[in-house]
Amino acid sequence: MAGQEAQDWKSMIHRCFRCGYCKFTTTYSDINCPSYKKYRFETYSTGGRLWLAYAALIGDISWSENMANVLYACTTCGNCVENCRFDKFNDFLVDFIEAARAEAAAKGFCPDPQKALLDRTLNSKFYNPYGELHATNAELRKEHELPDEAEWVYFIGCTSNYRQQNIRDATLRFLKRANINFTLIDERCCCSPLFRTGQINSVKEFIDYNIAQIKKTGATKIITSCAGCYKTIKKDWIKFGFDHGMTVYHTAELIYRLISEEKIRFKGKYDKKVTYHDPCHLSRHMKLYEVPREVYKEIPGLELVEMKRNKENAWCCGAGGGVKIGYPEWALEISKERLQEASETGATVISSTCPFCKTNLNDANNKFNTKFQVLDLIELIDKIEFELKCD
């Protein structure tokens, strides 16, 4: 932060009452900030973090590794945004945390594991935070006979392309089955991990590249099955000045639209009790609470049951904000709590709409032997036949 920008942040951070509501659910029935719940120390709640950053901004304390570790021990889940009682101010809470991280990173205090995300993404062999060899998606385009120009671009995202390929393949099959005129691009990371961890110096070249690739196809719509890509492309890219002028859909939104317009109707049955885990970056950050639920409810036989904490009060899966890489054991502990809550519903399937949630829930499911089937919505849809009604 420099000059006027730092002044703006300083005066805004100063408005925090230090009342502490931000760490609870709306009914105060549970501590819902994963960070505070673990550390039980005010500095690890949003209010505490803001005042810590404020102290550094006005020079009362020095930036340090210890201080950066406090800033980075947050999943950016957005519970504080929902539950801070200070309207308008609350909209900016996660932005403050990410801006403070950017300041820490600029001063050389980004922790090494999170810094590795940047190093791998910048490496031209990878262009993704996983350090996997870059996939141009040319083979997938060939395999699925996708055109050079199309109405939609399916932005796969790094987690689906390199870690949860079943979500990628189920999305491709759905788009084909639903007769969507789409294609793929040679994409690079959307930069969600970099935005979340305050490593924003190089995002411009990645976003410019991705937008240029999308524009080459003539597409006016972008679709993704990843909550992180969705929030980043729809909100962060625009916020950082890259107004691509395209409509961005999560797959759940397209499916919901096709159902509402009576273009598809599910035929197959799925006789299972399913509980839905709201991904923070689709729900609290983008307010898509009901759309995925409406899709689950349309699947014949499927019984949708809610966990005690859901929608704006959902307990985070624990993977976001660089926590999965920075604090891997803690990330699994957070998911363990989610799986315990899911088991109280009697569901056998826990489903989400984000490949990163699926990864962490699945890792915890395996580690703690909770015996759930962990499935993304699109993987579940992949199992169901549907009728397509063409215009």
Binding interface with ligand SF4 (CB under 6 A): 16-22, 33-35, 46-47, 74-80, 84-86, 93-94
Minimum distance from CB of 69 to ligand SF4 (Å)? 14
Q: Which of 292, 320, 289 is nearest to 381 (CA)?
A: 292
Minimum distance from CB of 279 to ligand SF4 (Å)? 13
Instruction: Compare residues 21 and 242 and give the one whose CB is closer to ligand SF4.
Output: 21
- How, if at all, do strands 152-154 and 221-224 pair? parallel
- How, if at all, do strands 273-276 and 303-305 pair? parallel
Query: How many angstroms separate the CA atoms of 122 and 347, rounded?
Result: 41
Instruction: Compare residues 46 and 160 and give the one whose CB is closer to ligand SF4.
Output: 46
Per-state percent for the chain, helix, strand, coil, to nearest 5:
50, 10, 40
CA angle 269, 274, 278 (to 5 degrees): 130
Give the three-class secondary structure for 387.
strand
User: Structure tokens of 77?
Assistant: 């889940």
User: Structure tokens of 263?
Assistant: 């273009």
Instruction: Compare residues 16 and 304 and give the one whose CB is closer to ligand SF4.
Output: 16
Minimum distance from CB of 114 to ligand SF4 (Å)? 15
Distance between first and last Cα of the chain:
53
Instruction: Compare residues 282 and 304 and give the one whose CB is closer to ligand SF4.
Output: 282
Residue nearest to ligand SF4 (CB): 47
Beta-bridged to residue 303, according to DSSP, are: 273
**Exposed / middle / buried, residue 308 (Cβ in 10 Å: 0-12, 13-18, 19+):** middle
Instruction: Compare residues 75 and 352 and give the one whose CB is closer to ligand SF4.
Output: 75
Instruction: Compare residues 299 and 325 and give the one whose CB is closer to ligand SF4.
Output: 325
Minimum distance from CB of 41 to ligand SF4 (Å)? 12
Minimum distance from CB of 21 to ligand SF4 (Å)? 4
CA angle 117, 182, 164 (to 5 degrees): 35
For tokens 């501590």, the residue is 31
Minimum distance from CB of 52 to ligand SF4 (Å)? 12
Query: How many angstroms separate the CA atoms of 105 and 114, rounded?
Result: 10
Minimum distance from CB of 314 to ligand SF4 (Å)? 11
Minimum distance from CB of 105 to ligand SF4 (Å)? 17
H-helix or E-strand spanning residue 273: strand 273-276
Instruction: Compare residues 32 and 171 and give the one whose CB is closer to ligand SF4.
Output: 32
Instruction: Compare residues 44 and 109 and give the one whose CB is closer to ligand SF4.
Output: 44
Q: For residue 39, what are the contacts with CB-CB under 8 A and spacing of at least 6?
A: 73
